[in-house]
A = this chain, B = another copy of it.
Amino acid sequence: MDKKDLFGLCPYVTSQKILSGKWSIYLLYLLKDGPVRFNELKRMMPEEITHTTLSRQLKSLEEEGLIVRKEYSQIPPKVEYFLSEIGNKFDKVLLALGEWGEEYIEFIKEKA
């Protein structure tokens, strides 16, 4: 293994990089049940996210191949985002992550 850069070689390092965006996991979770429109997505997220940031996050997930952007030629515009094939396969990670996250939340509650 090349120790310089393990991206594209080590599955963990590769995954890490994909998930590095502040909202990537949450976005993949929100998209798992089918196409969602841009503003719809924005309304499902915490208020702190701006549409600039959401736009950028979606763009990079698209460039990485996890999601697909479908634009309808309408006025006002309509754009839908949904998971690609490889994005869909992420569901098992989401499931494990969801379960672990619940346990972790319990853990920090007990500790407090």
Contact = CB atoms under 8 A, between A and B. Distances in A.
A47 interface: yes
B12 A16 contact: no
20 contacts: A3-B45, A4-B48, A6-B46, A8-B108, A8-B109, A9-B105, A10-B26, A11-B97, A11-B102, A12-B26, A13-B26, A13-B46, A14-B104, A15-B97, A15-B100, A16-B26, A19-B25, A20-B20, A92-B96, A92-B99
Nearest to A95: B96
A33 interface: no
Please state the number of chain copies in the assembly.
2
A96 to B, nearest CB: 4
B16 A22 contact: yes
Interface in A15-70: 15-16, 18-20, 22-26, 29, 45-48, 65
Question: Which of A4, A46, A109 has the most chain B CB atoms closer than 10 A to its own CB?
Answer: A46
Contacts of A19: 16, 19, 25
A15 B25 contact: yes
